[in-house]
C-alpha cells in the first residue's frame, strides 16, 4: 500500500501554535477518524462514552454524568474507529492491522464477533436501523457491508483508491465515502450497494458528515486545511471554511445549528455557524485532537486527544473545557451511546444506588410483572445487568458483575419475587440468545405460582 501520509512514530508533544513535524504512521493517522452518529439517549439512563485506545488494545468507558472512566474493555488488537448500534448494546470497531471489524458486547465488554472486512479497514458507520455496518477499506479501495444480525460480510463495492471515511444520510439510503488519494467522494446507493455518483473535492479529503437535515455534506480536507460544504441536491460547493491545519473530523449539534471540527495541528476545535457558514469560535483542547462526539442533548462535546492520551469535555454553551479525562494509550475513536437498557425486548428499570446491603431493584416487562428484592452488590453497575425472556413464559435477569442469574417463579402480573441461582462465568459472557437457554423455564400462570423445572 502506498504511504501517502508518511510512516513513523507517534507525534511528539509541542506547544500550541508552533510548527511541528507529523511523523505519524499511516495506520495511526488514518485510524484517527470520526465515529458514527451517536445513538439516541435513554431519557431515564446515563450516556456512556466509548473511547478506543489504539496502542494498548482497550476501550475506555466514560460515564457522562460522572465524567470519569468507569470500565475498561480489553479487546486486544489495535482498535481504531468506532460506531455504536442504535440500542447501545453493540460497538463496531475497526482494526487496521488484522483487517477485521470487531463486534463488542457492551454489557460484558468482550468481543462477540470478529468479521473480516478487507485489507486495512478505517472508517465505520452503522445504518439508522442498525441492520448494517459500513466499513471504508483503505487498503482494498472499497466499501464493505456487514449484516449485523449475522455478523457476516454481505457485500463490497469499489469506491476509489484509498477510502478513509464513510458518512450516511439521515435516512440511510446514501453513503458518502471519502478517498484521500483521488480527491473524491463516492456516493453509494446502500440498497443496491453500488456507486451512483462521484463528487470532486480538494486535496486529501478525510472526514465527512451529512447535516441532520440531509441537505449538505461537510468534508474535511487534510491538505487544504478547510472544510468544504457541498449542496447534496446539486453537488455544488457552497463554502470552503478555514479551520486550521490538519482538520480531521466534523460533527454537528443535534439541531444542526453548529458544526465542530478538530484541528490535530493546532490542538483546537473550530465551531461553525451552519446558517451563516462561518467559524464563530475556536476552543483549545488537548494535544492531537483526532475525533469528537456531541451528546444527544447537545450540551457537551467529547474530544479524544491522541498525543496527550486524554479526552477533553467541552461545555457547548460556553465553549470551554470543563474536564480532561485520562484514558488509554493513543485514543483514536470516540462514540456516545446510551447505557443498554433492553435485552430481548424487555425494558429494565434499575436501582438508583448500590451497596453491600439489599436494595430495591425492578425488572419490568410487557405484562411480565416486576421483580423485587434483588441484591445489589457494590461492584455492580447498571451496565452489568441484562434481562432476557424465555419464550414469553419466564423472565431472567443476568447480573454480570456478580456472575449470577436471577430467576423467579411466575406470578400474577404486577410483582414477581426473585431468587438467585449461580451461573458460570462463561454463561454470563454469552449473548442474550444463549442466556435464554440458561434461564429457568417457568410456566406462566396469571393466578398461581408455577412449579420449578
pLDDT higher than threshold 60 for residue 235: yes
Q: How confident is the model at residue 341 (pLDDT cuts 50, 70, 90)?
A: low
Q: Are residues 222 and 359 in the same domain?
A: no
Question: Averaged over 205-220, what is the pLDDT?
Answer: 98
Same-domain pairing of 334 and 376: no
Q: Is residue 12 part of a domain?
A: no
In a domain, 366, yes or no: yes
One domain, residues 114 and 217: yes
How do residues 80-95 score in pLDDT, each as one tens digit? 999 999 999 999 999 9
Q: Contact 146/162 with Cβ under 8 angstroms?
A: no
Distance separating alpha carbons of residues 81 and 86, to the nearest angstrom: 17
> Does position 428 have pLDDT exceeding 70, yes or no?
no
User: Which of 338, 369, 403 delimits the end of a domain?
Assistant: 338
Residue at 189 is within a domain: yes
Q: Identify whether residues 319 and 369 lie together within a single domain.
A: no
pLDDT of residue 410: 33
Total domain count for the chain? 2
Q: Give the pLDDT confidence score for residue 252 in this predicted structure.
A: 98
What average pLDDT does range 383-408 have in this prediction?
A: 37
Q: Are 48 and 28 in contact (CB under 8 A)?
A: no
Residues 214, 261, single domain; the answer is yes
DSSP readout, 152-206?
A: EEEEEEE--SSEEEEEE-TTSSEEEEEETTTTEEEEEETTTTEEEEEEE-SSSEE
Q: What is the pLDDT of residues 165-211, one digit of tens each?
A: 999 999 999 999 999 999 999 999 999 999 999 999 988 999 999 99
Most confident of 208-217, 369-378, 382-391: 208-217
In a domain, 195, yes or no: yes
- Domain shared by 289 and 361, yes or no: no
182 and 132 both lie in a single domain:
yes
Q: Is 222 part of any domain?
A: yes
Final residue of a domain: which of 338, 368, 398?
338
Residue 253 structural domain: 26-338
d(CA 227, CA 101): 28
**Cα–Cα distance between 101 and 340 in angstroms, integer?**
21
| Whether residues 403 and 267 fall in one domain | no
The reply to whether 191 falls in a domain is yes
Task: Name the pTM for this structure.
Answer: 0.70
Residues of the chain above pLDDT 70, percent: 65
- Mark 107-133 as b/e (b = at least 16 C-beta within 10 Å): bbbebbbbbebbebbbbbbbbeebebb
Q: Which of 280, 310, 338 is the last residue of a domain?
A: 338
Q: Which CATH number do you get for residue 57? A: 2.130.10.10
50 lies in the same domain as 194: yes
Assess if residue 10 is contained within a domain.
no
Residue 76 and residue 207 in one domain: yes
Beta bridge partners of 163: 179
Residue 25, C-alpha cell as written in the block: 504512521
| 75 and 35 assigned to the same domain | yes
With beta carbons less than 8 A apart as the criterion, state whether 185 and 205 touch.
Answer: yes
> What are the residues whose beta carbons fall under 8 Å from the beta carbon of 311, sequence distance 6 or more?
49, 51, 60, 62, 286, 302, 303, 304, 305, 324, 325, 327, 331, 334
Distance CA 78, CA 330 (A): 10
| 6 assigned to some structural domain | no
| Residues in CB range of 382: below 8 A, 6 or more apart | 45, 46, 339, 350, 351
Please report where in the chains the cell 446491603 appears, as a residue.
357
Same domain for 313 and 180, yes or no, is: yes
Amino acid at each position: 500500500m502506498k504511504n501517502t501520509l508518511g510512516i513513523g512514530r507517534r507525534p511528539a508533544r509541542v506547544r500550541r501554535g508552533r510548527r511541528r513535524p507529523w511523523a505519524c504512521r499511516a495506520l495511526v493517522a488514518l485510524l484517527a477518524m470520526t465515529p458514527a452518529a451517536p445513538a439516541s439517549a435513554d431519557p431515564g439512563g446515563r450516556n456512556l462514552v466509548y473511547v478506543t485506545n489504539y496502542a494498548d488494545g482497550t476501550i475506555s468507558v466514560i460515564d457522562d454524568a460522572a465524567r470519569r472512566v468507569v470500565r475498561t474493555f480489553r479487546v486486544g488488537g489495535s482498535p481504531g474507529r468506532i460506531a455504536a448500534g442504535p440500542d447501545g448494546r453493540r460497538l463496531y470497531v475497526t482494526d487496521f492491522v488484522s483487517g477485521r471489524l470487531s463486534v463488542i458486547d457492551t454489557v460484558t465488554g468482550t468481543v462477540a464477533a470478529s468479521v473480516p472486512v478487507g485489507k486495512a479497514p478505517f472508517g465505520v458507520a452503522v445504518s439508522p436501523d442498525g441492520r448494517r455496518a459500513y466499513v471504508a477499506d483503505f487498503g482494498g479501495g472499497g466499501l464493505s457491508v456487514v449484516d449485523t444480525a449475522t455478523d457476516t460480510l454481505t457485500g463490497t463495492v469499489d469506491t476509489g483508491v484509498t477510502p478513509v471515511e464513510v458518512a450516511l444520510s439521515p435516512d440511510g439510503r446514501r453513503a458518502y465515502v471519502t478517498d484521500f488519494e483521488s480527491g473524491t467522494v463516492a456516493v453509494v446507493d446502500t440498497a443496491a450497494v453500488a456507486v451512483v455518483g462521484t463528487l470532486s473535492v480538494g486535496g486529501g479529503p478525510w472526514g465527512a458528515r451529512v447535516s441532520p437535515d440531509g441537505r449538505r455534506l461537510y468534508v474535511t480536507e487534510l491538505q487544504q486545511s478547510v472544510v468544504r460544504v457541498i449542496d447534496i441536491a446539486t453537488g455544488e460547493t457552497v463554502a470552503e471554511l478555514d479551520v486550521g491545519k490538519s482538520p480531521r473530523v466534523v460533527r454537528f449539534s443535534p439541531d444542526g445549528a453548529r458544526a465542530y471540527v478538530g484541528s490535530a495541528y493546532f490542538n483546537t476545535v473550530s465551531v461553525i455557524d451552519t446558517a451563516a457558514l462561518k467559524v464563530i469560535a475556536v476552543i483549545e483542547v488537548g494535544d492531537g485532537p483526532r475525533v469528537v462526539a456531541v451528546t444527544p442533548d447537545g450540551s457537551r462535546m467529547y474530544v479524544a486527544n491522541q498525543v496527550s492520551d486524554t479526552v477533553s469535555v467541552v461545555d457547548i454553551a460556553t465553549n470551554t473545557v470543563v474536564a480532561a479525562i485520562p484514558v488509554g494509550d493513543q485514543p483514536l475513536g470516540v462514540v456516545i451511546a446510551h447505557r443498554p437498557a433492553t435485552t430481548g425486548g424487555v425494558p429494565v428499570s434499575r436501582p438508583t444506588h448500590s451497596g453491600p446491603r439489599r436494595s430495591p431493584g425492578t425488572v419490568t416487562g410487557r405484562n411480565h410483572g416486576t421483580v423485587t428484592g434483588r441484591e445489589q452488590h457494590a461492584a455492580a453497575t447498571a451496565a452489568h445487568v441484562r434481562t432476557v425472556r424465555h419464550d414469553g413464559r419466564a423472565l431472567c435477569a443476568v447480573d454480570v458483575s456478580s456472575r449470577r442469574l436471577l430467576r423467579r417463579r411466575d406470578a400474577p402480573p404486577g410483582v414477581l419475587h426473585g431468587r438467585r441461582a449461580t451461573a458460570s462465568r462463561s454463561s454470563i459472557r454469552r449473548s442474550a440468545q444463549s442466556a435464554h437457554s440458561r434461564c429457568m423455564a417457568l410456566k406462566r400462570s396469571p393466578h398461581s405460582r408455577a412449579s420449578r423445572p
